[in-house]
Structure 1
Amino acid sequence: MSDLQAVVDRVEIEALRGEFTDAVMMRDYDRVASLFTPDGVWRMPNIPVELEGREAIRAWGRRVPDLVDFLVQNTHPGLIQLGGDTASGRTYISEVGRGLDGRGGQNYAIYHDRYQRTDEGWKFTERVYEVRYEDSSPLAGSPPRPARDA
């Protein structure tokens, strides 16, 4: 692999990870699903949820508005290890959110990723969400609410 190809691959994988965060924040689970290979897996053991394939990811996304009041996810670049048409990596996450049941909090986590080069570009073959720290203390703030007519 040329040095230039390695740079291109790293930029494209970083764009994939950024688009994932944007799609989750915008609750666009059709787009989230499209970022995985057709048989890709998204694992969140602490929830616990294991989503296999794009349709399972879409179905999970359709349920999110019934469960989640808000979620803010910030990602920080981590390791990318290239291996030809496959790669692995990590992304570091900080989140704050609240469910419609009132439970909420903050956490710090790591996504452990596997990637595959496809005809449509790099895709996730696996994303495993590992929570490293969780604070379930009630949140003092809230998302802004629409102003009421005077």
Structure 2
Amino acid sequence: MSTLESIVDRFEIEALRGEFTDAAMMYDYGRLASLFTEDGVYRIPDANVEQIGREQIRSGSEWLKSQWVYFVQTTHPGMIQLLGDTAVGRAYLSELICLRNGNSYLNYAVFHDRYRRTEDGWKFSERVFEVRYLDTTPLAGSAPQAAEAEER
């Protein structure tokens, strides 16, 4: 049975996960980094990426953006297990990515998360990106803004 506090915690963690996707899609990497604890870690094992601390997360995300023509991420709710002032969870996502080098990716993945309650609310203490399906077939579509920018 859920207590009011656990319902609020789950709501706040789900809002944190939504904020991550929004910050990524809006290229707001300062905000994205602020969603992590000071010592938070973001890992993408398949790409050999490990960013520790907010500054590495921000600068690493900015570098990734410099590689993209366009990037679209859609995240879906998963599970949350509350453990007092910490929690673990998973979120499921799909991404479309077109790189400046001509490569493109469609993937379905899982975020494996660890959360910590802080004075500023719930934050990620760790977020690990695990690809479950990857398609490198050239994407047939385009992003209108990206196409316009390349024409200039």
Instruction: Give TM-score scaled by structure 1 length.
Output: 0.94
Measure how far apart 1:25 and its partner are: 0.6
Query: Structure 1: which 4+ aligned runs deviate by more than 4 Å?
Result: none
Alignment match, 1:57: 57
Alignment match, 1:93: 93
Alignment match, 1:72: 72
Alignment match, 1:116: 116
Alignment match, 1:102: 102
Letter matched to residue 6 of structure 1: S
Deviation per residue, 1:61-119 (Å, 9 max, x gap):
22133211111101110000001100000000111111111101200000000000000
Q: Percent identity?
A: 59
Instruction: Give TM-score scaled by structure 2 length.
Output: 0.93
Which consecutive residues of structure 2, in runs of 5 or more, have no partner in the other structure? none
Between the aligned partners of 1:82 and 1:64, the Cα distance in structure 2 is: 32
Letter matched to residue 20 of structure 2: F
Measure how far apart 1:47 and its partner are: 1.3
How many aligned positions are there?
A: 146
Between the aligned partners of 1:64 and 1:135, the Cα distance in structure 2 is: 19
Three-state SS of the structure 2 residue aligned to 1:42 is strand
Deviation per residue, 1:105-136 (Å, 9 max, x gap):
20000000000000000000000000000000
Alignment match, 1:42: 42
Which consecutive residues of structure 1, in runs of 5 or more, have no partner in the other structure? none
Alignment match, 1:11: 11
RMSD: 1.3
